[in-house]
Structure 1
Amino acid sequence: MNEKINIGVIGLGHWGPNHIRVFNNFHDTKVLAVSDINPECLRRAADLFPSIQIESDYKNILKCKDIHAVIIATPTSTHYQLTKEAILAGKHVLCEKPLCQSSKQASELIKLSKERKIILMIGYIFLYNSGIKKIKTLLDEGDFGDIYYLSSTRTNLGPVRKDVNAAIDLAVHDISIFNWLLESVPYYVSAHGASYLQSGIQDVVFINLRYPNNVLANIEVSWLNPKKARQMTLVANKKMLTWDDLNLNSPVAIYDKGANVVSTSADYGNFLHISMWEGDVRLPKVEVEEPLKSQNYHFIQSIKSKEPVFWEDKFTYGVTKVLESINRSLNEYGKLVEIA
């Protein structure tokens, strides 16, 4: 496909206008139409983007033969139905995370997109984050050795959602990051949470995951926290690192630190004989780039080449399966759930 790719955007909340801005800055794409059920969002879009067609009914976008692809930036609870309709209408789809909360629905949509030869991409925006990409490169180089565990914190005071809990809204980022860095899906998950602001929707969730090779992971998410944080710690047997997305100058720090067991002899009583080392802290250069721009460029290139996003199918199913298992564990008061 060499001609300009025309885009329709469904959903004009936070992400919709950002997608419009990014696509309209590409030389080979153009946003033709946008849709939202909120009249105020439509009025705002008309003021900001006067040349774009405004639709109160998203079905008009799906019916438009001039539109090649759609962006679905609506509440999570609507993703499955809108994505399915878009695929059936022959539109390539970039859907904001998560695709859905059911692995059965995810499997259905993935299968349908393959049958219809449609590019289906999910907005795992942090896989295009410069710091996370740098960490992936570092791990692939092998200098860190065997990974022991990862922990992440993603908190803020709001925004509070009404359709999904904090795990589905926030932890999906950390799960996608962990699954990508480890190139695997966890075996087990256990999650505890509490609903303080609205009944039945957890505002704070603590998640424990067990990955292959005995890798442990922990995630804390909350939209009821005084401190905004997007942080991760990774501990391996040769090196350690931290990532702080709010540190724009040096988001990644590499620590030449570690510990080895020298002896388990009873001569040391209740203590292990440990050899510890503490070397330099290195702050690698991280090129600054807008994740949304990189993600959307990848989407367009996939459409042009007619090649699916290389990790999308199994990856999306895996992320959805973990989210589904987290909800099950939350509903069963922290029960350990096997991710089959």
Structure 2
Amino acid sequence: MSQTTFHIAVIGCGHWGPNHIRTFSSFPEAKVVAAADVSRQNLERVGRAYPGLTLFEDYRRMLAETDIHAVVISTPTSTHHAIVRDVLLADKHVLVEKPLCRTAEEGEELVTLAAERNRLLMVGQVFLFNRGILKLKEYLQFGDLGRIYTMVSTRTNLGPIRKDVNAVYDLASHDIAIFDFLTGATPLEVSASGAAYLQPGIEDLAFITLRYPNDLLAHVHVSWLNPRKVREITIVGDRKMLIWDDLATIGPICVYDKGVIREPYYEDYGQFQLLAREGDISIPRIQLEEPLKAQARYFLDGLRRGSLTVSDGKSGLAVVRTLEAIQTSLAQRGTPVSISRTKPA
């Protein structure tokens, strides 16, 4: 694109939308010109905070009446497909909050439509722009940990409780995107168990196992019913191990020079014992930045380049495929489900 200033609009001004307005407004090459929300109260709140915005209760009017290049969508997951489709048909670029949509069929339609319209479609997987996660990617790319055996994530808190999606779509979508990003692959098979205690048919918690290529096993624990907020990933390699803790005060990553070694057992040649090897613990220095701002910068750079390589529509669709497989396994009480054969539930 030839424009030096991109006009941005935001649909959805509840909890997260105002943060998008704030971050995009901080860039000289972007100007947030409009916002839409079905709630007049939400619109009045952002109008007071950002007096220059043109406000709409109907986003379709905003698309028709406003000169905009790109739209940020921060609405409930159940609305994503219809809104993203309308925005793409209006020939606007899209940044939509995770997950892309509810079903792979919906996702395929959106990815195809974006390609046909030559519009960017980006999914707001904000943790892919977290400096700690980027450091994990660096460790894996350079092979510092050796062969990766397992990755385990825990993402818990007491709420917030969603009504349109369960804890898997709300929380595990983050960790699936992170694991796909770190490995450069997608799961081959999933199995999951969960329970719906607060709302019938909407799981509050789940325990998910994903099998990636090269026999890499990943596990995800998500819950809205936990007394402690946890955002943590453990990666176990045959050389070193590490823990990423997004809430740690001393630094988000600890690297453990630990592993298992084969100790010869000399009574019989060729026998050995498996012994734990203890080494140092290091905390790398990481220059932190607000991930949402880094994500906004990347989207603006993508508008200039005309392309995306991270968190695009195709990777967002891959996450939705995995989410669908998890839903199928939940319904079958933990039966392993091959993602390649998964159909929409």
TM-score by length of 2: 0.94
Moved more, 37-46 or 159-168: 37-46
What SS does structure 1 have at the residue aligned with 2:187?
Answer: coil
Letter in 1 for 2:335: K
In structure 2, the CA distance between the partners of 1:310 and 1:156, relative to structure 1 (3 Å rule), is closer
Superposed, 1:134-283 pairs within 5 Å as: 134-262=135-263, 273-283=273-283
Stretches of structure 1 that go unaligned for 5 or more consecutive residues are: none
Distance 1:61 1:279, change over 3 A: same
Instruction: Report the counterpart of residue 30 of structure 1 in structure 2.
Output: 31
CA distance in 1, matches of 2:194, 2:265: 39
User: Structure 1 stretch 148-157 or stretch 106-115: which is displaced more?
Assistant: 106-115
Q: CA deviation at 1:294?
A: 0.6
Which residue of the partner structure matches residue 325 of structure 1? 325
1:65-108 CA deviation, whole Å, 9 max, x = no partner? 51111000000000011001100000000000000121121111
Higher mean displacement: 74-83 or 271-280: 271-280
TM norm structure 1: 0.95
Partners of 2:123 and 2:313 within 8 A in 1:
no
Matched, 1:17 2:21: no
Distance 1:313 1:182 in 2: 18
Give 1:312's aligned amino acid: D
Q: Distance in 2 between matches of 1:310 and 1:219?
A: 22
Q: Report if aligned partners of 1:121, 1:309 keep a CA contact under 8 Å in 2.
A: no
Conserved? CA contact 1:259–1:275, under 8 Å:
yes
Question: In the superposition, relative to structure 1, how do residues 311 and 22 fare at CA in structure 2: closer, same or farther (>3 Å)?
Answer: closer
Cα gap change, 1:310/1:46 in structure 2, threshold over 3 Å: closer, same or farther? closer
Secondary structure of the corresponding residue to residue 211 of structure 2:
strand
Q: Once the 2 structures are TM-superposed, how far is the Cα of residue 225 of structure 1 from its aligned partner?
A: 0.6
Aligned residues of 2:123 and 2:311 also touching (Cα < 8 A) = no
Q: In 2, Cα distance between the equivalents of 1:26 and 1:266?
A: 70
After superposition, residues 56-135 of structure 1 pair within 5 angstroms as: 56-135=57-136
**C-alpha contact 1:119 1:309 (8 A) present in aligned 2:** no
Query: How far, CA to CA, are the matches of 1:79 and 1:232 in structure 2?
Result: 28
Q: 1:36-87 CA distances to partner (integer Å, 9 max, x unpaired)?
A: 1112111211211111111110112211351111000000000011001100
CA distance in 2, matches of 1:266, 1:339: 48
**Closer, same or farther: CA 53–264 of 1 in aligned 2, 3 Å:** farther
Aligned residues: 337
* Distance (whole Å) between structure 2 residues aligned to residue 13 and residue 165 of structure 1: 19
Alignment partner of 1:197: what SS? coil
Residues 92 and 262 of structure 1, relative CA distance in 2, 3 Å threshold: same
- Separation (CA, whole Å) in 2 of partners of 1:221 and 1:310: 24
**Cα deviations by residue, 1:156-215 (Å, 9 ceiling, x for unpaired):** 011000000001000011101111111111111011110111110000111011111111
1:215-254: per-residue Cα shift (whole Å, max 9, x none)?
A: 1111000011101000010000000000100014311000
CA contact (8 A) 2:148 2:237 kept: yes
**1: CA distance, partners of 2:253 / 2:74:** 30
* Contact 2:158–2:225 (8 Å) recurs in 1: yes
Unpaired segments ≥5 residues, structure 2: 341-345
RMSD: 1.7
SS of alignment partner, residue 279 of structure 1: coil
Q: Deviations over 1:99-144 (max 9, x none)?
A: 0121121111111101111010000100000100111111111121
Aligned letter for 1:71? V
